[in-house]
């Protein structure tokens, strides 16, 4: 059976990690908004192509994103959707175009999210990712892969992390309520090891 899974969660909740593991486990597509837009950036919609907005440095409008996501889901024999919907209009559109088997919300305390986001370090040379607590390099401040310097990106500071979370909560709470009202939302405790969280998600998907 092909699974159609939506994974929701704040920045730092582990959506990307868990989505990839789910896609691998069930042999389905891992569909992200960013990947779908890049793969279909030349696709003509009545509002123009995604490329025209991306090249101008503008946000791609909802109607264009909706069409791109719909095309990606139509092409997939089962999927894990990650990074969409970002607002209520998109959530309502998604409910119209597909029947979801499971909508999983990764529940993680805000202070834990801030710790996860601010602890990330990125190699200034090769782009490899580390975390001061969860995936530290062998030598502090030095990349295991190439020996480059590990830096904290501007969007990983505490101030920026809290701003990102505030925007997420504001936009996504109506999305959560939409799927809760539909009776398909399952909340999963995301404060554990990645393997433990994955087992909880798998249990929710298969129940």
Q: What residues act catalytically?
A: 15, 86, 120, 153, 164
Whether the CB-CB separation of 59 and 53 falls below 8 Å is answered with yes
135 is in an annotated binding site: no
DSSP reduced 3-state for 108: coil
In degrees and rounded to multiples of 5, residue 127 shows phi and psi of 85, 5
Residue 25 known to bind ligand:
no
121 is in an annotated binding site: no
Q: Does 116 show up as a binding residue in the annotation?
A: no
d(CA 9, CA 83): 9
Q: How many residues does the chain have?
A: 207
What are the DSSP calls for 116-150, one per residue?
Answer: HHHTEEEETTT--EEETTTB--SBTTB-TTT-PBE
User: In what side-by-side order are the strands of the sheet with 102-107?
Assistant: 29-32, 79-82, 4-9, 102-107, 185-189
76 is in an annotated binding site: no
Q: Is 27 annotated as a binding residue?
A: no
200 is in an annotated binding site: no
Is 33 annotated to bind a ligand? Reply is yes
90 annotated as a binding-site residue:
yes
84 is in an annotated binding site: yes
- Contact yes or no for 91/175 (Cβ under 8 A): yes
Determine if residue 180 is labeled as part of a ligand binding site. Answer: no
Please tell me the distance from the alpha carbon of residue 207 to that of residue 201, in angstroms, as a whole number.
10
Residue numbers in the known binding site are 12-17, 33, 38, 58-60, 83-86, 90, 120, 123, 126, 143, 146, 153, 164, 192
Residues of each annotated binding site for Zn(2+) = 123, 126, 143, 146
Binding residues for AMP: 33, 38, 58-60, 83-86, 90, 153, 164
Would you list which residues are annotated within the binding site for ATP? 12-17, 120, 192
């Amino acid at each position: 059976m092909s699974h159609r899974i939506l994974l929701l969660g704040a920045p730092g909740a582990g959506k990307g990690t868990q989505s990839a593991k789910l896609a691998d486990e069930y042999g389905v597509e891992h569909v992200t908004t960013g990947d779908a837009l890049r793969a279909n950036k030349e696709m003509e919609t009545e509002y123009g192509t995604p490329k025209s907005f991306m090249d101008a440095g503008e946000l791609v409008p909802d109607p264009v994103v909706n069409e791109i996501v719909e095309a990606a889901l139509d092409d997939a024999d089962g999927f894990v959707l990650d990074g969409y919907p970002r607002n209520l209009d998109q959530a309502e559109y998604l409910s119209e175009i597909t029947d979801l088997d499971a909508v999983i919300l990764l529940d993680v305390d805000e202070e834990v999210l801030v710790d996860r986001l601010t602890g990330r370090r990125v190699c200034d040379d090769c782009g490899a990712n580390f975390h001061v607590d969860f995936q530290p390099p062998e030598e502090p401040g030095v990349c295991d892969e190439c020996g480059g310097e590990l830096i904290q990106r501007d969007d990983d500071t505490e101030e920026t992390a809290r701003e990102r979370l505030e925007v997420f909560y504001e936009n996504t709470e109506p999305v959560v309520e939409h799927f809760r009202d539909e009776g398909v939302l399952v909340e999963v405790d995301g404060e554990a090891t990645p393997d433990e969280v994955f087992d909880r998600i798998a249990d929710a998907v298969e129940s």
